[in-house]
Structure formats: C-alpha cells, structure tokens
Structure 1
Amino acid sequence: MTGSQLLQPHAAQARDMLGRLRALFDQSVRNLAEQCLDAGRLSAARLDAHQIASFELAWAGAELLAAETAIASLDAQADPLEAQLALVFTTDAIVALLDRLDVIAAEAGMAPDAVDALRSLPAWRALRAAMGSAAALRAAGHGVVEAQGLVGEVALDEPHALAQDAFRRFAAEVVAPQAEAIHRHDLTVPESLLQPMREMGVFGLAIPESHGGSAPDDREDTLLMVVVTEALSEGSLAAAGSLITRPEILTRALMAGGTEAQKAHWLPRLAAGDPLCAIAMTEPDCGSDLAACQLKGTRLEGGWLLNGAKTWCTFAGKAGVLMVVTRTDPDRALGHKGLSVLLAEKPAFDGHSFEVQQPGGGRLSGRAIPTIGYRGMHSFDLAFEDYFVPDANVVGGEAGLGKGFYYTLSGMVGGRMQTSARACGVMRAALRAAVRYTQDRKVFGAPLADLALTQAKLARMAARLAACRRLAYAVARIVDTGEGRMEASLVKLLACRSAELVTREALQLHGGMGYAEETAVSRYFVDARVLSIFEGAEETLALKVVARSLMERALGLNASGG
C-alpha cells in the first residue's frame, strides 16, 4: 500500500468530523444570528454587542472551509506528504474549532453538550492521537525537509502553469537580489524592477484584452492574478508582489462604473503601467470605515476642488494617478451614498515626500510614513488643498456621482484574493528559508533539522501554507464564476494571520540570525505583519463582512439591516 492509502482511514475520520462540525457550526450561526435580529433584520447595535462571538464565528468559518478544502483533495493517489500535511492541518484546525464553538455556543444560548459530545467521539480521539502525535509531526516535518519546503502545489492548466514558472524564475533571478537593498535602505521600487514587470504584463492582469490587458474579454481570470502575485511575493512583498493590487482595484472600479470613454482612455494606460496608480481611501479619523470618509469635493465649472486628508495611500509618490474616494454631496447624513470616485492626476516622484502645485493654485502634498516593513512602495499621508480634478475624471461621469462606495467595493474581492496570494508567497519564501537554514545549522553536534521540535514546527508551518494555498486557488476559481465574496474574505483572514505565524516560526528557527536585517527571514517577518491590516483590517473583515454575511446567509436575508 502507498503512503496515501495508509492514511485513508484517517482521512475518513477527518471527513466525518468535519461534517459534524459543519452541522454544528451552521446551527451556531443561526442561533447567534437570531440573537442579533430586530424587527426581522440584523441590528447593528446587537451585532456590536456580540462582537466577541462574531469574531470567533468568522475565524471558525475560515478554518472550517480551509480544512474541508484540504481534505477534499485527498484520495488514494494523493502525494503522501500532501496527505500528511492536510491531516496535520485539519487536526489542528479541529482543536481550534471546538474551542471557538464553545465561545459561540455560550453567546448564542446553546448548551455545551454538542461540543462536548464531539470532543468525546472515539473517531476524533483516534484521529488526534494519530495525526497530532509527535511521531506524525516528525514524519511530516522530515518530509518537508526532503521536499525543501516545496509543498501545497496545485494542479494547473498549461497557461497558468507556464505563467507560474515564468514569474517564479523572475522573482528568484531579478526581484530577490534587489529586495534586501530596497528594504534596508527604504528605497522606492526602482525602474530595474518596474520596467521588466511592465513588459511581462503585470499591470494588466485584470484588464480585458480588448482594452490592452491580458484578461479574457468574457470572464475574469482571478486564478492568474493569484498565481502571478504569489510568485512575485516570494521574491519580495513590497518590491514586487504588491504592485498589482492598486491597478486591480482601479481597473475593477472603472469596469464597474466607468464610461466607455474613460475605459478607452485609462485601461490601456494602466495595463502598460504608465501611469502607475495609487488608491486614496483611508482617512486619519476613519480607518476601515469607508462610508465615513470626509475628504470634500466641491463642484465648480469644469470639475471639482478636493480638500482634506488621506492616509496610508500606498505608492502615492510614484503614482501618476490617484483613485480618490471623495464626498461629493455635502450632506453627511447620506453616508456612503454621498461618495464618488475621482481620478486625480499628478507627476511621479521617487522620494519620500512630494508637493504638486497646480497653475490655478491647487496643492497636493505627500509624506511617506516610516514603517517597520513593507518598504519600497511607501505609504503616504496626503493633503489636498483646492486640488482640481476635471469632470472627465469622475468615474461614471454625472451618473457616477454618489456611487463611489459601490465602485470601490467592486475591487475589494480581487484585492482580498490578491492579498491572500501575497501571504502565500511570503509564507513559501519563509518556509523554504527555514528548511535551508535548519539543514545547515548544527546544534549540539547535529543539524537543527534533525531535532524533533524543529520537525514539528516545520510540519505545522508547511501544513498551514499548503492549506492556505489550496484554499486561495479554490476560491479564485469560485470568484471567476462571479461568486465568492465571502469566501475571498475568509481566505484573506486565514492566509494573512497564517503568514504572521509561519514567518514568526521561520525567524525563530534562525535564532539570533533571524533577528539580523542581513537575513531575508527578518524582512519576511516584518512584511507579513501588515497583511492582516490592509485590504480590510482583520477585525473589520471578520465582524462587518464575514460574520454578518454568514448570519444573513443563515437567515435567508438578501441585504444587511441595521
């Protein structure tokens, strides 16, 4: 019998346990949702009162979906190491799920008996004893070392496989050699990286072929974007992997609401990476609450004057156009219905600060925010003072006024999928670095990789990476059908936290050298920390998107109440 065949009884135990957990999870969602109802709709106040349980609910949903996806890939022909890792991840996920369901059940008014009953199942005890044991973790860890950390590979068709191979080679040969200097000297991403990426079509991945990009005209290709982003992020998150996010969001906003003239003008230029773009959404007092944006657009003949501040606007210096979410209706009571998207053009700057003076007296200034990681693109504080934007640059024209919130949201699914891919790329780099170092480093007369605890750590790191990769690729295919908004949020939630955990362990395995800036793993660690913050901060994503969507789905509601 093959290794995978020997693991099939444990795979059957895992499937049975996950099925039982899914049923209990669904019941918990319904019960918690009923606690948050008011007059037949979800109440914002009641949801806020149950934030702790809702947060656990979102995480439980992410871990459960990832485990189900991992186990679904197992059959008698599966690679033995991949089967081991899927079962290691699922076993750890079930432990976490049981604890989360305890919290949710208490808040939802459910007795703890159902969770206790699952903990006591002989099949679960057998699975945990088999796949959570020291022997199982050592065996999996040894396999990870033998594979040099190359785990979680997903079968791709020829075009996607060719793209993956090309961009992995580019990341290894062109990006990685420049990544350390960009990080340590806080440089702007240089043309030596930007120009070859333009030539490879990186900036046009979401743009239809008819408008100069590489996406099919009749459908999206989120999977290609995930493949390319992951490969580039393995070379460097800040200097390569994140460059696609901004054109992705702006492209989707234009596709959702732009006029035909705007699409014809902007999309071919964005696809060519000339100009580069940045997204100005976040404001100093609003954070993730996009609907609370206050940057004001005042109408005058021929266009609009922008006044106010934005912050955390990544790549604003180098960008030639800013996608600015602007309050164009002065009635603040309108909330998100008073927002529009305006495209503010500016010269490109390489430095850490800039100032633009318009002929009519308008002014835009920017200052890069010093950060512990994610250097290269730089995130800017921006100040707009009577900065003029012509009517032609209002996305959607007159009909687009007040619809900016929705145009912006149209890019969020793609942005979250891309961030998941970034997390997977950073994890892949960190795991491979940890494997190499633990093989070379000797402690007490033996390679670090031969120690039981090292092998257990590598097993769990690899299991988490493999699960996140499989989930990201599976959800990308769902998104390409026009569905998957919540699933994209689930994989973003899980992959970004996982990147923190994996890079932390990779750094730890390097010991003192891991804390040295000359070692790449220190960069992976500080870069990974930002992933749970942008493209939807972890808490906002869990509470306002995932938990609420789960409850609406459970109650059969089509729209949020409150």
Structure 2
Amino acid sequence: MRAAYLKEEHDILRKALRKFLEKEAYPYFEDWEADEQIPRSFWRKLGEQGYLCPWLSEEYSGFDADFGYSVVINEELEKVGTGLIGVGLHNDIVVPYLYHYGTEAQKKKWLPKCASGEIITAIAMTEPGAGSDLANIKTNAQLSGDHYVVNGEKTFITNGIQADLIVVVCRTSLDADPAHRGISLLLVERGTAGFSRGKKLRKVGLHSQDTAELIFEDAKIPKENILGEEGKGFYYLMEHLQQERLIVAIGGIAASERMLEITIDYVKNRKAFGQSIASFQNTQFKLAELQTEVEMGRTFLDRTIELHMNGGDVVKEAAMAKWWITDLVKKVASTCMHLHGGYGYMEEYEIARRFRDAPVTAIYAGSNEIMKSIIAKKMGLM
C-alpha cells in the first residue's frame, strides 16, 4: 500500500536519487566496506545534489522539504547498505538539534556547510560506562572565563572519525538534583585543543560506517558553543529522540524489504532435487510469513510517520516501531540467509553483509528493552 504522505514530488526525488546512487554508490560500496569508511567526496556529491538536509529553510541552503523527503532518502540509502546510516544521522538526527536550538550566529556559521557536505556531524552521547542511562553520563564541562573546560570519554560514536562538528552531551552542573537537570549540549569543532579521537572501532557489521572513541582532556570549548540553554540538554534529547527512532525503523523496514527481494530472486533461480527452491512448501511458507510481517510493519510505520509529519506526539509509536521492526530485521536476516544455504554464508552474497548489519539496529537509538519501558510508561504501567 502506498503511504498517504508520499506525493508526486517524492516519486521524482526517489527516481533521481536512485539514478544518482546507481552511478555514485552501488559500484563502490563494497570498496567502502573494505576501507571501513565512506569517502568525503561522496558526502560532497550528496550535498551538491541537494540530498543533505533538504528540510532546512532556504536561508540555510535547504529546500524547506517535508519529512517525506527524509523518508525517501533514508530508504534509498539503506538499499545500498546499512553502512550509510551515518548520512541519515547527519541529516535527520544531529543537524535538527542545531537548527532548533542554535543561535542565529551558530546556524549561519554551520548549517549551509552541513547542507553542502563540507561539514559532517555527529552526536556524542554514549560513554564507556553509560549507554541508555543518559542521566548518569560522566563527561563534564566547567565554565572558566570565556570557555568551557571539558573532560571525559565517549564511545560508539557514528561518524566519529570524519565528523567536523560534534554535539557533545555533557554535565555542566555536578550538583543538579535530579541529575538530568545538569546536562547540556556543547558544539565541538574539529581541531579543538584537548579534543582527540581514539581508535576507529572495528565492528561485527556496518564496516563502512566509521565509528570511534572521542577523548576530551581539558578541551577548551568557547562558551558561545553552548547549544540552547545550559541545563536543558536532557530535555532537548528527549524531544528529538522520537525522530531518531523513526529513522532507525525506516532503515529497518527498507532493509527487510531488500532482503526479501534478493531472497525471492535467489530461491526462484536456485535448483535442488530437479526443481527450484521456491517450489518447496517450506520456502513458500517462510517467505509468505516474512512478507506479511514486513507489510504489517510498513503499514504501522507509515501511519506513525504521517502522524509525526502532522506534529503529533509519537513517542509511544516511535518506540513501538523501533522495537518491533528492528527485531523483525534480525528475523528476516536469519531466515533469508538460511534460505540461501551455504551461499548465504559467503561474503560475495549481499545477504551475508545484511546478516552482519542487522543485530545492532536493536541496540542503537536506545535498546529495544528501553523501547518496551517507554511503551509501558505510556500505557500507565510505571
């Protein structure tokens, strides 16, 4: 079923983006996986074509596009590979913080370059000792004259190696009660004294997505780089995490559809015992079950996206979509790899990469256990 929020302009965008990716991404993606990094040249090409932050207003080099553009862009990038998740993070997770809470000076300085691809962004929340429990982060920033002095470590940071501008979640008050009232957001630029990057982290999947540790040792951040109001960082995060979870769900459903597509093609052409694997009832039932679940997930997700686009509160629905769809991604990946037989375990087959990339979707943007806690709270059970 076609989503109601998709119009003719979204179809035009999808067609143009697919043509662009067929030329600029698909032929090189396996090389990017081997290099463990998406080249900056690709980011610049995305920017030149208007595929970075198109929702920005024209004064900041955007097109005032609606969230439907973000949906299409994230779906088409996911079809290339989940390792391109860093583009969606830049477009629809990090840059919105700057747009909504930044000063006019901050926005004029950085937003046009975010749209052009000159600046790659990241957000640094997770620490070695704090993941989903953001209220207990240890990275601290103490105001000293005209700058903050930041100390601490962050880990598992998407775009961590290449990022030029990082939204760092830190504690600006050690005495705040409750603790989350002491959390603020600081904008940290590449080259800041006292800021360094640790090793590029090697992962089970998402090989082309650069992920890193960030280290702050008496890093001096100008006080004008505070994002929004001091002490309001936790509230800003809570307000925008629902869109982050939608982005993960959008990628998850697109990945599931892609895995079904390549598996259906494979079982139709693979022969066993003198007939195609697709002719076996077990194969038919397995794929029929997955197709049903994927279409159910797509329908719920589209309804949630439409509500989000209309300004509705989708905290519960975004948590539901993120949890259910990312669990489904793992199920689809496992079943489809199995239906490929031994070939599914071979790196030259796309399903092997998809199988490696699937599990982490249930962990980032808040683990699925956290999603269930959010749902339970919205149900009045907590």
- Report the TM-score, using the length of structure 2 for normalisation: 0.94
Aligned to 2:54: 205
Pair 1:376 & 2:208 matched? yes
What is the distance in 2 between the residues matched to 1:198 and 1:255? 17
Match of 1:458 in 2: 287
289-298 or 375-384, which deviates more: 375-384
Unaligned runs of 5+ in 1: 1-151, 348-355, 553-560
Q: For 1:346 and 1:435, how far apart are their aligned partners in 2?
A: 46
Q: Which amino acid aligns with 2:233?
A: G
- Could you report, residue by residue, the CA deviation over 1:24-52 in whole angstroms, capped at 9, with x for unpaired residues? xxxxxxxxxxxxxxxxxxxxxxxxxxxxx
Deviation at 1:492, TM superposition (A): 1.3
Structure 2 counterpart of 1:337, from 156, 175, 181: 181
Q: Is the 8 A contact 2:70 2:92 kept in 1?
A: no
Residues 305, 207 of structure 1: alpha-carbon distance in 2 compared, 3 angstrom cutoff = same
Superposed displacement of residue 509, structure 1: 0.9
Alpha carbons 1:202, 1:244 under 8 Å: kept: no
Distance 1:294 1:327 in 2: 7
Tell me how far 1:326 sits from its aligned partner.
Answer: 0.9
1:426 aligned to 2:255?
yes
Which of residues 243, 249, 267 in structure 1 aligns to 2:93?
Answer: 249
Q: Does 1:160 align with 2:2?
A: no
Which of 49, 65, 72 does residue 227 from structure 1 map onto?
Answer: 72
Tell me the SS of whatever aligns to 1:207: coil
* Distance in 2 of aligned mates of 1:294 and 1:268: 32
Say if 1:206 and 1:285 are closer, same or farther in 2 by CA, change over 3 A: farther
Matched residues in 2 for 1:536 and 1:373: separation? 18
Q: CA deviation at 1:409?
A: 2.5
Q: Please report how far the alpha carbon of residue 252 of structure 1 lies from its aligned counterpart in structure 2 after TM superposition.
A: 2.4
Which of structure 1's runs of 4+ aligned residues deviate more than 3 A? 152-155, 168-174
TM-score for the superposition, normalised by structure 1: 0.65
Corresponding position: 1:237 with 2:67: no
* Aligned residue identity for 1:367: K
SS in 2 for 1:366: strand
Task: Give the superposition deviation at 1:418.
Answer: 0.9
Equivalent residues in 2 for 1:472-491, closer than 5 Å: 472-483=301-312, 484-491=314-321
* Alpha-carbon spacing, 1:264–1:317, altered in 2? closer, same or farther (3 Å): same
User: How far is the alpha carbon of 1:258 from its aligned partner?
Assistant: 1.9
Q: Equivalent residue of 1:204, what SS?
A: coil
Q: Deviations over 1:189-247 (max 9, x none)?
A: 0235323212222221342333222335xxxx222211210111011111x34412134
1:175 Cα deviation from its structure 2 partner:
2.3
Partner of 1:310: 154
Q: Which of 364, 371, 387 is the aligned partner of 2:196?
A: 364
What SS class does the counterpart of residue 52 from structure 2 fall into?
helix
Structure 2 match to 1:80: none
**CA separation of 1:346/1:162 partners in 2, compared to 1, >3 Å: closer, same or farther?**
same
Paired position in structure 2 for 1:492: 322
Report how many residues are paired: 380
Shift of 1:534: 0.5
Higher-Rg member (1/2): 1
Q: Deviations over 1:282-302 (max 9, x none)?
A: 111111111111101021121
Matched residues, percent identical? 30
Give 1:186 deviation, angstroms.
4.3
Change in 2 beyond 3 A, CA 1:459/1:524: same
SS at match of 1:279: strand
Aligned CA-pair RMSD: 1.9
Asked if 1:505 is matched to 2:335, the reply is: yes
Q: 1:515 to 1:174 in 2, by over 3 A?
A: same
Q: Report if the CA contact (8 A) 1:223-1:473 is conserved.
A: no
Tell whether the 8 Å contact from 1:254 to 1:407 is kept in structure 2 after alignment.
no
| Larger RCO, structure (CA 8 Å, separation 6 or more) | 1
Which of 365-374 and 508-517 deviates more? 365-374
Q: Given the superposition, is the C-alpha separation of residues 526 and 312 from structure 1 closer, same or farther in structure 2, using an over 3 Å criterion?
A: same
Asked whether the equivalents of residues 195 and 214 of structure 2 are also in contact (C-alpha less than 8 Å), the reply is no
